A and B are shown apart, each in its own frame.
Chain A
């Protein structure tokens, strides 16, 4: 009996959470950018985008190099090492670029956003904004939301570019693959509209979900240190899981044959 009650209350909690998120989204989206909003936006673009660059680029380089090495080893068994370029670039553009950038983004920027908004809530900064007649959804949440949505596809594109360069370093500069074959095979296999653009669309979808979770968790957290730490953890866990789940869905829609 108790379990059923709990299940029910959990269900109601989840649904009302979804509803709150939807309202929040509505207010954020209609919190359209003004000139003043632009300053806030570019400040957040700096914190969310620019400061995520080091971790994203370093990860990209290593992942590209590892991919180059591993795939080269497998391809060399079939004598098809020329296909290295296409294997590295397709796996980066379609999957690894958006997904790993998304995971790093959830860990680096998502948790920071949740913690920041949560702290603003616990120190009554959000309340005091409200009482000053400034809507915190417009002032605090909207710039972070838009900055996240804009910076993520750029981060993912840079990730793929640097990763491919890492694969090139390993394949061509180190393992001695012919330079022309590497790029030509890649260009034959990669389609701009299908692979590059779809990858970018994926990353925008991931950014949307992660940043929405991050601002919601921050805004609705219980305003003390335990509440903030829980909300931050939830942002990373929920954000990462939804990226992976969503990735399957998007891949099925974009690349599945049906």
Chain B
């Protein structure tokens, strides 16, 4: 076989391989180049994560707005004293959603009965207009929304099935004693 034909087929082969890679990237793993968009980091503390993992979704009203980037335990404070032993979850939120009220609450939820854990955010009302119904000014707006490095105050931990059941059993016995 003449060698330019060989080169041609070899090149075609590599091209087909790259096409497969692109297919897998775009269609199968849903990689979109917009995911490289800028994000800002927010922290939240939970008493119980119940199987939340890094890379878990962060959603608000069912819309995916970011993902969990880091999970750690607050066992020691910066000055070396004892921490509160809560789980600190750091997550990235897409900069497109830059006006989430600062008193919004984060909740660890489960997709379906056996599905993955994710963080659901319920909007708060810190940015609600005052009595005068005046639109908020720039500075007021930036004070009432989550920004890079903010910590969410209101959180609700994951429901752990064992705890729920034991609670339920305790309630049962208590009501039985009545």
Contact = CB atoms under 8 A, between A and B. Distances in A.
Query: Majority SS of interface residues in chain A?
Result: helix
Interface stretch (A5-13, A23-31, A40-48, A129-137): A40-48
A139 interface: no
A164 B27 CA distance: 10
Interface in A171-230: 183, 186-188, 190-192, 195-196, 200
A141 interface: no
A192 B9 contact: no
A49 interface: yes
A187 B32 CA distance: 10
B97 interface: no
Interface in B48-84: 55
Contacts of B21: 157, 196, 200
A161 interface: yes
Given A42-B10, A50-B13, A154 B20 contact: yes
A151 interface: yes
Interface string B18-50: 101101110111110000000000000000000
A160 interface: yes
B16 interface: yes
A155 interface: yes
B14 interface: yes
Contacts of A157: 17, 20-21, 24
Nearest to A57: B16
B9 A196 contact: no
B17 A50 contact: no
Given A43-B6, A46-B9, A154-B14, 7 more contacts: A45-B10, A46-B13, A154-B17, A154-B18, A160-B20, A160-B24, A161-B24
Contact of B24 (A49, A50, A93): A93
A89 interface: yes
B7 interface: yes
A244 interface: no
B20 A188 contact: no
A192 B29 contact: yes
A93 B17 contact: no
Interface residues of A, number: 31
Contacts of A192: 24-25, 29, 31
Contact of A158 (B6, B17, B25, B31): B17
Contacts of B25: 192, 196
Interface of B: 1, 3, 6-7, 9-14, 16-18, 20-21, 23-25, 27-31, 55
Contacts of B14: 45, 150, 154
Interface of A: 39, 42-43, 45-46, 49-50, 53, 89, 93, 150-151, 153-155, 157-158, 160-162, 164, 183, 186-188, 190-192, 195-196, 200
Given A191-B55, A192-B29, A196-B25, A43 B3 contact: yes
A133 to B, nearest CB: 23
Nearest to B64: A188
A152 to B, nearest CB: 10
A50 B13 CA distance: 6
A191 B20 contact: no
Given A157-B20, A160-B20, A161-B20, A50 B9 contact: yes
Contacts of B24: 93, 157, 160-161, 164, 192, 196
10 contacts: A39-B6, A42-B10, A53-B13, A93-B28, A154-B13, A157-B17, A160-B20, A187-B27, A191-B29, A192-B24
